[in-house]
């Protein structure tokens, strides 16, 4: 995200002055600005008194710091020469802001130490040019999710673990300004009449914000960072998410045009897995992707990406996944990749899988491979309520080749729990056989999940198909270890 933002701020001279004023000014101050500006925290030389700003920590220092920041920021806005700022690039503006902040501190005779001065300068630069207190988190490449739970509390996820940060906002209004800045930058709005918004930032990160009255304790925002350098199959093996044998099989399934459903819970790594397996699609195939928020990062030369559109404020203009899947079918795709199948589009996707678009893939929200198929059945029944259950199951059984079950375990690690082949029907029931499985044996004292992934010993039917596509797997791959 940050890369994109700093690129944008480097292009400042292309932004008309009204919007520059808006960008420099509006994002920063909460509604309490004027109140805090006159608050008696000013410290002049000679006064024995508390320091205007101390390192953030205790609640009083923290408040004094916020007040000082708000006051300096406001003074700065009066002082800034927008005309000449227009001609500067992002780095020059930062430099200019630093000089102005230092001059103001000097004029106001504020007593702060060097570290505090640096922090204040950086925070004000972040307010004016970026997303305020979120900037340090956005700059940190190890942060994969940022979860703002009201202005008082921000969590991040690093390497699969949630951590509380010491980042806070001045107040609710300050957080609202930042949320507004983020969503308005991508042409969305959030206010009482539309209190929930989903947006994708220019760099691909996904943002969801929900505000009062729906969010009871104050505005809440969740950011799923987009990794410019997506995980690859080898990374997943290195992280212990699966064995090298499983990786080899998944790679083969991608090459051999097996229809795959990736099943898992929220944040379990479904999209990552879809991206990884799609990476093995042959470069001469035409791929059409359909997503709610485009996240897939396929490297092939021939990819057409489609993204749904939510209804506008009058409730018009919505374009659903189903409409896009139908449209994709008219685009002569070799494969259709559906980010997440959730509703009626399941019908069209299975149709595609059954009619010559082999090797199509989708993710789906379910906790076991069996449940994934049940969910598909439910989705189809929404689209075709009169279709008998057996006919639905036949469609599913003939369309889906393999279900890959992923999960985020209690220790935060993401694992492939199962690679299961769909083999057909027996009576009214879809038959499946598990080829690889993760067997949990216990939990270590530090919470680490113990266990091992292994082949089950069942030789899959797809092994033959893989061979016809030139993927020759060693027979021992399917033997239990």
> Residue 66: enclosing H or E segment and its boundaries?
helix 59-79
| CA distance linking residue 379 with residue 231, whole number of Å | 30
Answer for which of 2, 41, 271, 456 binds Mg ion (CB under 5 A) is: 271
Closer residue to Mg ion (CB): 364 or 471? 364
**For binding to ligand ATP (CB under 6 A), which residues are involved?**
144, 227, 231, 236, 239, 241, 264, 266-272, 414
* 321 touches Mg ion by CB under 5 A: no
Q: Please, what is the minimum distance in Å from the beta carbon of residue 262 to ligand ATP?
A: 8
Token pair of 38 as six digits:
């006159």
Q: Please, what is the minimum distance in Å from the beta carbon of residue 421 to ligand ATP?
A: 22
**Partner whose footprint covers residue 414, from Mg ion, ligand ATP, none (CB < 5 to 8 Å by kind):** ligand ATP
Q: For Mg ion, which stretch binds (CB under 5 A), given 173-181, 182-190, 264-272, 325-333?
A: 264-272
**Partner whose footprint covers residue 243, from Mg ion, ligand ATP, none (CB < 5 to 8 Å by kind):** none
Contact 473, 466 (CB under 8 A): yes
Q: DSSP letter string over 384-444?
A: -TTS-HHHHHHHHHHH--EEEEEEE-TTS-EEEEEEEEEEEEETTEEEEEEEEEEEEEEE-
Closer residue to ligand ATP (CB): 158 or 185? 158
Closer residue to ligand ATP (CB): 226 or 462? 226
User: Which residue number is nearest to ligand ATP in terms of Cβ?
Assistant: 269
| CA distance linking residue 359 with residue 303, whole number of Å | 14
Closer residue to ligand ATP (CB): 198 or 358? 198
Closer residue to ligand ATP (CB): 88 or 231? 231
Closer residue to Mg ion (CB): 127 or 292? 292
Contact 266, 254 (CB under 8 A): no
| CA distance linking residue 246 with residue 260, whole number of Å | 14
**Partner whose footprint covers residue 264, from ligand ATP, Mg ion, none (CB < 5 to 8 Å by kind):** ligand ATP
**Partner whose footprint covers residue 252, from ligand ATP, Mg ion, none (CB < 5 to 8 Å by kind):** none
Work out the burial of residue 364: count CB atoms within 10 Å of its CB; fewer than 13 is exposed, 13-18 middle, 19 or more buried. buried
Q: Which residues touch 187 (CB under 8 Å, ≥6 apart)?
A: none
Closer residue to Mg ion (CB): 257 or 270? 270
3-state SS track over 105-168:
HHHCCCCCCHHHHHHHHHHHHHHHHCCHHHHHHHHCCCEEEEEEECCCCEEEEECCEEEECCCC
* 278 touches Mg ion by CB under 5 A: no
Residues near Mg ion (CB under 5 A): 270-271
């Amino acid at each position: 995200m940050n890369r994109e933002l700093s690129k944008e701020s480097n292009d400042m001279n292309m932004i008309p002055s009204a919007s520059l004023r808006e960008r420099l000014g509006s994002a920063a101050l909460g509604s309490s600005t004027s109140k805090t500006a006159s608050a008696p925290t000013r410290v002049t030389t000679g006064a024995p008194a508390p320091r205007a700003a101390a390192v953030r920590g205790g609640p009083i220092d923290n408040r004094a710091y916020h007040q000082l920041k708000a006051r300096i920021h406001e003074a700065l806005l009066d002082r800034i020469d927008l005309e000449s700022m227009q001609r500067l690039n992002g780095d020059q503006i930062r430099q200019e802001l630093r000089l102005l902040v230092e001059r103001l501190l000097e004029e106001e005779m504020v007593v702060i130490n060097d570290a505090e001065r640096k922090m204040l300068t950086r925070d004000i630069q972040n307010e004016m040019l970026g997303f305020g207190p979120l900037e340090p988190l956005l700059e940190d490449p190890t942060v994969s999710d940022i979860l703002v739970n009201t202005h008082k509390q921000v969590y991040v996820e690093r390497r699969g673990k949630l951590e509380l940060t010491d980042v806070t906002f001045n107040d609710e209004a300050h957080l609202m300004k930042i949320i507004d800045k983020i969503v308005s930058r991508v042409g969305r709005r959030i206010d009482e009449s539309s209190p929930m918004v989903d947006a994708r930032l220019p760099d691909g990160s996904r943002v969801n914000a929900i505000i009062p009255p729906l969010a009871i304790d104050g505005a809440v925002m969740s950011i799923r960072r987009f990794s410019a350098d997506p995980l690859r199959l080898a990374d997943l093996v290195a992280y212990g998410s699966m064995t090298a044998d499983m990786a080899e099989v998944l790679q083969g399934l991608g090459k051999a045009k097996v229809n795959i459903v990736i099943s898992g819970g929220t944040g379990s790594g479904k999209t990552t897995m879809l991206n990884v397996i799609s990476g093995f699609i042959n470069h001469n195939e035409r791929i059409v992707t359909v997503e709610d928020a485009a996240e897939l990062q396929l490297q092939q030369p021939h990819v057409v990406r489609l993204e749904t559109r939510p209804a506008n404020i009058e409730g018009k203009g919505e374009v659903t996944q189903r409409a896009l899947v139908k449209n994709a079918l008219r685009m002569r795709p070799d494969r259709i990749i559906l980010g997440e199948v959730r509703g009626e589009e399941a019908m069209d996707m299975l149709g595609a899988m059954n009619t010559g678009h082999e090797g199509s893939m989708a993710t789906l929200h379910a906790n076991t491979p069996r449940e994934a198929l049940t969910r598909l059945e439910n989705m189809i029944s929404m689209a075709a309520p009169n279709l008998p259950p057996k006919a639905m199951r036949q469609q599913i059984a003939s369309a889906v080749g393999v279900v890959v079950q992923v999960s985020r375990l209690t220790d935060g690690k993401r694992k492939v729990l199962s690679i299961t082949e769909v083999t057909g029907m027996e009576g009214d029931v879809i038959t499946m056989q598990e080829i690889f499985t993760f067997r949990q044996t216990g939990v270590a004292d530090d919470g680490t999940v113990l266990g091992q992934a292994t082949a089950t010993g069942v030789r899959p039917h797809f092994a033959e198909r893989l061979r016809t596509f030139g993927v020759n797997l060693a027979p021992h791959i399917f033997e239990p270890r």
